[in-house]
Amino acid sequence: MLFLGFSAGLPLLLVFGTLSAWLARSGINKSTIGYISWVALLYGLKFLWSPLVDRLKLPIINSIFGQRRSWMLIAQLGVIVGLLIMSFSNPNSQLNMLVWAAILVAFSSATQDIAIDAWRIEAMPVESQGAMSGTYQMGYRLGMLLAGGGSFFIAHYYSWPMAYSVMSMVMIVGVVTTIIISEPERNITDDTWKQEKRVIDFLENSTQMSSRGRRLYAWVIGAVVCPFTEFLNRNGQFAIIILLFIGLFRISDISMGIMANPLYVDIGYSDLQIGFVTKTIGPVVTIIGALLGGVLIMRYKVIPVLMIGAILVVVTNLLFILVALNPPDTIFLSLVIGADNISAGIAGSAFIAYLSGLTNKAYTATQYALFSSLMLLPAKFIGGFSGSIVESYGYVEFFFYTAALGFPAIVLIKLLSNNEKKIMP
Query: Looking at residue 423, what is its pLDDT?
Result: 46
- Give yes or no: residues 166 and 219 share one domain: no
Confirm whether pTM is higher than 0.75.
Answer: no
- Give yes or no: residues 328 and 375 share one domain: yes
Query: Looking at residue 156, what is its pLDDT?
Result: 80
CB 220 within 8 A of CB 401: no
DSSP-derived secondary structure for 130-158: HHHHHHHHHHHHHHHHIIIIIHHHHHHHS
DSSP-derived secondary structure for 304-356: HHHHHHHHHHHHHHHHHHHHHHS---HHHHHHHHHHHHHHHHHHHHHHHHHHH
- Give yes or no: residues 6 and 129 share one domain: yes
- Give yes or no: residues 323 and 344 share one domain: yes
Query: Looking at residue 144, what is its pLDDT?
Result: 86
- Give yes or no: residues 210 and 140 share one domain: no
Q: What is the mean pLDDT of each run of 10 residues along the chain (425 residues)?
A: 95 84 81 78 85 88 94 97 96 94 96 93 81 85 85 85 96 97 75 56 58 66 74 84 90 80 80 72 84 87 92 94 92 92 90 85 79 79 77 90 94 84 48
Of 250, 120, 105, nearest in space to 178 by CA: 120
CATH code for position 50: 1.20.1250.20
- Give yes or no: residues 282 and 203 share one domain: no
- Give yes or no: residues 164 and 61 share one domain: yes
Query: Looking at residue 7, what is its pLDDT?
Result: 97
- Give yes or no: residues 217 and 357 share one domain: no
Query: Looking at residue 42, what is its pLDDT?
Result: 87
Query: Looking at residue 425, what is its pLDDT?
Result: 43
The domain boundary residue, chosen from 178, 202, 232:
232
Query: Looking at residue 216, what is its pLDDT?
Result: 67
- Give yes or no: residues 120 and 215 share one domain: no
Of 387, 152, 379, nearest in space to 263 by CA: 387
The domain boundary residue, chosen from 155, 186, 217:
186
Domain with 174, as residue range(s), is: 1-186
Residue 109 CA, chain-centre distance (Å), reads: 11
Query: Looking at residue 155, what is its pLDDT?
Result: 85
Q: What ranges in 181-270 are assigned the alpha helix state H? A: 190-204, 211-220, 226-235, 238-248, 251-258, 260-267
* Count of domains observed in the chain: 3
- Give yes or no: residues 353 and 248 share one domain: yes
In the 8-state DSSP scheme, what is residue 40? G
- Give yes or no: residues 146 and 289 share one domain: no
pLDDT digits (tens, 9 = 90+) for 239-283: 889 999 998 998 888 788 767 777 887 888 876 677 678 767 888
- Give yes or no: residues 105 and 54 share one domain: yes
